[in-house]
Amino acid sequence: MASPTIRALLARPELHLRLTAPEDDVAPGALDATVRWVHSSDLADPTPFLAGGMVLLTTGTQFRDAGDDPKPYAAYVRRLARSGMLGLGFGTEVVRNGVPEALIDACREARLPLWEVPYDTPFIALARANAEALAAVAYERRTWALDAQRAVAVAALRPDGLRSMLAELSRRLGAWVGLLDGDALLHEHPGGGIDAASVEALRQHAAGMLVRGVQSTSGLEVEGHGYHLQTLGQRGRLRAVLAIAQADLDEQHRAVVTTVVAMAALALEQRQDLEQARDALGAGVLAALVRGDVALAADVARASGSPLPAAPVVVAVADQRLAEAGGVGRWLDARGVPLLHATDHGDLVMVLAEEDAAVVDELVLRHGGAAGLSGPVGLEGVADALGQARTARERRLAPVTRFADLSGAGVLALLDSTEARVVAQAALDPLVAHDARHGTDLVATVAAWFDADCAHDAAARTLGVHRHTVRARLTAAQELLGQDLATVAGRAQVWAALRAAGLLTGA
């Protein structure tokens, strides 16, 4: 198929065209640029009526009085070159014989292609030949687009339709294609086709497009490579951004990309509906486990295609940040291990085999946030394990806090939490207020007494007062606190409050 270029016109034997200078004398690529139109004019300055990317044909009438003076020719050629003309054809034997040497020299100086059009070749023949080539290219591109759209539609029907569509688009464009949401690169083809720095730049740009919430296209250059980006989804409900490692897309490229965008957006909508249904099902299975109905939970999980993990299992509870992070559920499903995940009271809860507990560490490392991990239990012990996991997360000794590490520190370690400190301060407030109003030392006396293992004489020596003074202050303190310090329970309550408030020197 002939292409719409000067080289293609020169190569057509029926036109009998002849380049007046060696190819090395014209600008690089000039003979292979796409010719948008072929026009003829004998005006001395036709440039106001022309556009770039065209070829001009002339018989030289405008040079009838120029003689051998090179200036009119040079000025004429300069005007053509500045206007973006791709080349000039000179029709001979109409006004004069042969191509003027001054015109040949001027075109060689400007590196503008110049060729001779013999008398027997009408200008309309060149225009028709180029128009036919343009039409053939347009037909070929439309055919390519239709074939590509059909291939994408077939790919969408496969089990992994979204991934298959992206792979087909990548093959048709001959370029890397990726789908990103605000959190990560969801799919790409070919895998690893661009480096991590480029992926991060695209992810950040995509996140900005999604935050704006309007359908849009955008261009981005990363390390010298151009990218075309386009949002997927409806205004206010954008799902992702399609990125293509090709900045310049022609009309047919864009038609195929638009098809992929529409079908991928539909696939993402359907996937979100499916994920919401799976989340609801997962929450129901978790609720059954917490109630102790293991048989029901196992039957439902097996019927849904996601059987429960084998015992012993551990339960993980992640904070709200992970529960609300996009793509976490899909990431967990892609781990390839039996795993139940659901949202419970705003927390992300996971039930997985003890041997797969490292998935929780990987999750937090990848997505941030914090999580608590229970000790191993049977499926009938999920309710207790859920409590362990929540306690471990609240203590947060590390990004992933294991209950085994927490229990090794003893029950008293729970008194170091912020919640315990707030409760302790409220419990001791009657003593603090009394000391402030009356100038007494009830708080210090009670703390010294506990530091002395509840020995009055030792506490008195520490405080520098008589032991009867200590007894009197303790009596006043227990009345204000509503606790009987003669009993183990009363002493435990007050000691725990002092311990949580950080008022004991020996604990």
The secondary structure of 376-416, three-state, reads CECHHHHHHHHHHHHHHHHHCCCCEEEHHHHHHCCHHHHHH
Q: Taking 60 as the threshold, does the pLDDT of residue 150 lie above it?
A: yes
pLDDT score of 412 = 61
CATH at 372: 3.30.70.120
Q: Does 137 fall in a domain?
A: no
Q: Does 153 fall in a domain?
A: no
CATH at 243: 3.30.450.40
Instruction: Verify that 354 and 465 share a domain, yes or no.
Output: no
CATH at 109: 3.40.1390.20
- Rounded CA-CA distance 427/433 in Å is 11
**Contact 341/316 with Cβ under 8 angstroms?**
no
183: closest CA among 164, 202, 196, 169?
202
Helical axes 488-500 vs 418-438, angle rounded to 10° = 100
409 band by pLDDT with thresholds 50, 70 and 90:
low
264 band by pLDDT with thresholds 50, 70 and 90:
confident
Q: Taking 80 as the threshold, does the pLDDT of residue 280 lie above it?
A: yes
Q: 170-187: per-residue pLDDT in tens?
A: 999 999 999 887 666 668
Instruction: Verify that 69 and 122 share a domain, yes or no.
Output: yes
pTM: 0.54
Mean per-residue pLDDT of the chain: 87
Instruction: Verify that 44 and 21 share a domain, yes or no.
Output: yes
Q: How far is CA 275 from the centre of its chain?
A: 19
Q: Does 296 fall in a domain?
A: no
Q: 292-351: per-residue pLDDT in tens?
A: 999 998 899 888 888 889 989 999 998 877 766 666 777 787 777 888 888 888 888 989
pLDDT score of 380 = 92
Q: Does 147 fall in a domain?
A: no
State the amino acid at position 224 in one-letter form: G
End-of-domain residue from the set 204, 239, 270: 270
pLDDT score of 338 = 83
Q: Does 344 fall in a domain?
A: yes
Q: Taking 60 as the threshold, does the pLDDT of residue 242 lie above it?
A: yes
Instruction: Verify that 426 and 405 share a domain, yes or no.
Output: no
**Contact 317/396 with Cβ under 8 angstroms?**
no
Q: Does 139 fall in a domain?
A: no
Instruction: Verify that 404 and 421 share a domain, yes or no.
Output: no
Instruction: Verify that 444 and 396 share a domain, yes or no.
Output: no
Instruction: Verify that 24 and 125 share a domain, yes or no.
Output: yes
Instruction: Verify that 127 and 52 share a domain, yes or no.
Output: yes
Instruction: Verify that 383 and 422 share a domain, yes or no.
Output: no
pLDDT score of 324 = 66
Instruction: Verify that 405 and 421 share a domain, yes or no.
Output: no
Please count the structural domains in the chain.
4
Instruction: Verify that 241 and 337 share a domain, yes or no.
Output: no
Q: Does 282 fall in a domain?
A: no
State the amino acid at position 387 in one-letter form: G
Instruction: Verify that 421 and 402 share a domain, yes or no.
Output: no
Cis status, amide bond into 190, omega within 30 of 0:
yes
End-of-domain residue from the set 245, 270, 295: 270
Q: Does 348 fall in a domain?
A: yes
What is the extent of the structural domain holding 191? 158-270
